[in-house]
C-alpha cells in the first residue's frame, strides 16, 4: 500500500481503474488492514494479503479474485 515517491496503493489502483474499469486487484502489505486498505477494497480490489505471506496464501487470494464475476 505504500510506494515511493508518495504514491500509495489506493491512488495507484484508482489510476488503473481510470484506464481499465473493473480491473481486479489484490492488496499486499506488511501493515495491518487500515482505512486505506478498506477504501481500496471498496473501490473493487478483491482481497488483502498481509506480509509475510506464503505462496499458497497469495495464490489463493489471486484465484479467489479471478473467480469473482
pLDDT band at 5 (very low <50, low <70, confident <90, very high): confident
> Is the pLDDT assigned to residue 4 strictly greater than 70?
no
pLDDT in tens, 50-69: 999 999 999 999 999 999 86
Sign of CA pseudo-dihedral 27, 41, 33, 58: negative
C-alpha 27/C-alpha 18 separation (Å) is 18
Mean per-residue pLDDT, 9-36: 93
Q: What are the residue ranges spanned by the domains of the chain? A: 9-67
pLDDT tens digits for range 23-47:
999 999 998 999 999 999 999 999 9
Q: How far apart are CA 33 and CA 5, in angstroms?
A: 22
The CATH architecture annotation of domain 9-67 reads: 3-Layer(aba) Sandwich (3.40)
Set of cell numbers at residue 59? 495464490
- Alpha-carbon distance 21 to 32, whole Å? 27
pLDDT reported for residue 21: 95
Amino acid at each position: 500500500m505504500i510506494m515511493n515517491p508518495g504514491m500509495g496503493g489506493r491512488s495507484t489502483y484508482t489510476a488503473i481503474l481510470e484506464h481499465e474499469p473493473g480491473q481486479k486487484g489484490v492488496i499486499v502489505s506488511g501493515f495491518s488492514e487500515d482505512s486505506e486498505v478498506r477504501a481500496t477494497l471498496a473501490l473493487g480490489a478483491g482481497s488483502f494479503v498481509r506480509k509475510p505471506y506464503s505462496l499458497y496464501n497469495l495464490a489463493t487470494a489471486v484465484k479467489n479474485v479471478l473467480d469473482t464475476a
